[in-house]
Structure 1
Amino acid sequence: MKILVIEDERKLARFIKQGLEQHGHVADLTHSGSEGLDYVAGGLYDLVLLDLMLPGQTGFDVLQNLRAFGLNVPVVIISALSDPEKVVQGLDLGAVDYLRKPFDFNELLARIRVLQRRATLSDDVVLRVADLEMRLVSHTVLKNNRTVELTNREFALLELFMRRAGQLVTKNEIAEKVWAADYDMGSNVIEVHIYQLRKKLDAVGIPGLVETIIGRGYRLKVG
């Protein structure tokens, strides 16, 4: 899963991010409510972990604004506020779960697995380009019923390309939507991941699907 952590306690935020990535997730961090909303609006997140006591917009404000803007990403609240009224308020505003601080990290992972199972049991969302099929909920990519094994970053890259099939996708857009705060403008990490993605697509018989538009970005071929 690609997960956004909105937590102003930076040491805790880094701990959560590290733990999530050790268990196969992609995690981005932000430390304020308003910035978190920008990330959700511009990113492709499967889940948001949300603190309530944030500078500027509170977590409750974030929940209200997410729904007002039609952003339906699942949200799990992680908060030191243990008053039952706060729990009820958060759930009524659209959060799918509420975890009280301090928490056991294994419990957080278990709750994430529950959400993954629920999503898998619901109708999958499918993107199709040429012979390629991407199932967003079950997080699988198929070519003629043959599974294409991708890392989480490669999956996020391909999802962006498939959603924008036939359109130019700039390097800046990729950095914002797939890497967010983790991207180092001086690195070649995007080029390396696209190279690896192309190799895997080539291996299942789809050579040249991701085109380089020199000096501008990339495009997924259609037709």
Structure 2
Amino acid sequence: MNVLVVEDNRRLSGVLRQSLVEDGHQVTIAERGDEGRDLLLGAPFHVAVLDVMLPGLDGFSLLKEARSSRCVVPILMLTAKDSMPDIVHGLNLGADDYLTKPFQIPVFLARVRAMGRRRPELQSNIISVGNLHLDSDSHTVRRDDNEITLTRKEYALLELLMRRANKVVTRNQLREAGWSFDADVSDGNVDFYIHSLRSKIDIKGEESMIRTARSLGYMLTSSR
């Protein structure tokens, strides 16, 4: 499954990412509620995991906006709060399940799997930015009718850039997508893979689809 985890505690989000990947899932991490909202409403996820206490937009507000926008992705709420009013409030807003911290990873994975079994069918797993198309089911990438062969890391970085199209993606976010959460990866290594991506997806004589945001990261935009 394609799982979104919105959690601002990097240590916990790293553990959840690694556990989900080892369980066979694809994982996207967001650390802010507003970033999580944009991802949830703009990409085909099978399950979303939301922390309640988030910067930018709290988990309850994110949940409310998602359901108001008719987002039907099953949502699991994570929180340190275990009082009955908070649980009832989350469920009334449209959460599908609730897990209080601390929790056991096997229990977390079981909840995610159970929610995935009752997920709605997604309309499309194709992400398109201009004439660049990524199929998250077959892990194939095309520009117009030309298929592009990418390495696993290149694919992971491109998928994140496409899901965040027209928004700056930091090097830290790219590191999390392409490497394990605790990997020691330099900025130069990230830049090397971006350069390699450009050489594969860009068309000679045209402006690169991947723009550099100086001192911040990169942004993918549709070509002119």
Same fold? TM cut 0.5: yes
2:140 matched residue in structure 1: 141
**Partner letter of residue 35 of structure 2?**
Y
Judge conservation of contact 1:210–1:221 (CA < 8 Å) in 2.
no
Judge conservation of contact 2:33–2:56 (CA < 8 Å) in 1.
no
CA shift, 1:133, in A, is 3.3
1:162-201 aligned at under 5 Å gives the runs 163-164=165-166, 173-175=168-170, 178-179=173-174, 187-198=187-198, 201=200
Where 1:134 maps in the other structure, the secondary structure is: strand
1:37 matched residue in structure 2: 33
Q: Deviations over 1:77-96 (max 9, x none)?
A: 12355566644431221223
1:190/1:176 Cα in 2 relative to 1: closer, same or farther (>3 Å)? closer
1:33 matched residue in structure 2: none
1:154 matched to 2:158: yes
TM-score normalised to structure 2 length: 0.56
Structure 2 CA distance for aligned equivalents of residues 3 and 80 of structure 1: 19
1:31-110 aligned at under 5 Å gives the runs 36-41=32-37, 46=45, 48-52=48-52, 59-64=59-64, 70=69, 72=71, 75-79=75-79, 81=81, 86-110=86-110
Structure 2 CA distance for aligned equivalents of residues 191 and 119 of structure 1: 37
Aligned-residue sequence identity (percent) comes to 23
Where 2:106 maps in the other structure, the secondary structure is: helix
1:153/1:139 Cα in 2 relative to 1: closer, same or farther (>3 Å)? farther
**Partner letter of residue 194 of structure 1?**
I
Uncovered stretches (5+) of structure 1, i.e. residues with no partner: 31-35
2:5 matched residue in structure 1: 4
1:19 matched to 2:14: no
Structure 2 CA distance for aligned equivalents of residues 214 and 11 of structure 1: 28
1:214/1:187 Cα in 2 relative to 1: closer, same or farther (>3 Å)? closer
Structure 2 CA distance for aligned equivalents of residues 146 and 82 of structure 1: 50
Judge conservation of contact 2:211–2:221 (CA < 8 Å) in 1.
no
Judge conservation of contact 1:49–1:76 (CA < 8 Å) in 2.
yes
Structure 1 CA distance for aligned equivalents of residues 89 and 100 of structure 2: 14
Structure 2 CA distance for aligned equivalents of residues 76 and 180 of structure 1: 25
Uncovered stretches (5+) of structure 2, i.e. residues with no partner: none
CA shift, 1:75, in A, is 3.2
**Partner letter of residue 140 of structure 2?**
V
Judge conservation of contact 2:160–2:174 (CA < 8 Å) in 1.
no
Q: Deviations over 1:113-137 (max 9, x none)?
A: 455565573321534467753346x
2:126 matched residue in structure 1: 126
CA shift, 1:107, in A, is 3.4
**Partner letter of residue 34 of structure 2?**
D
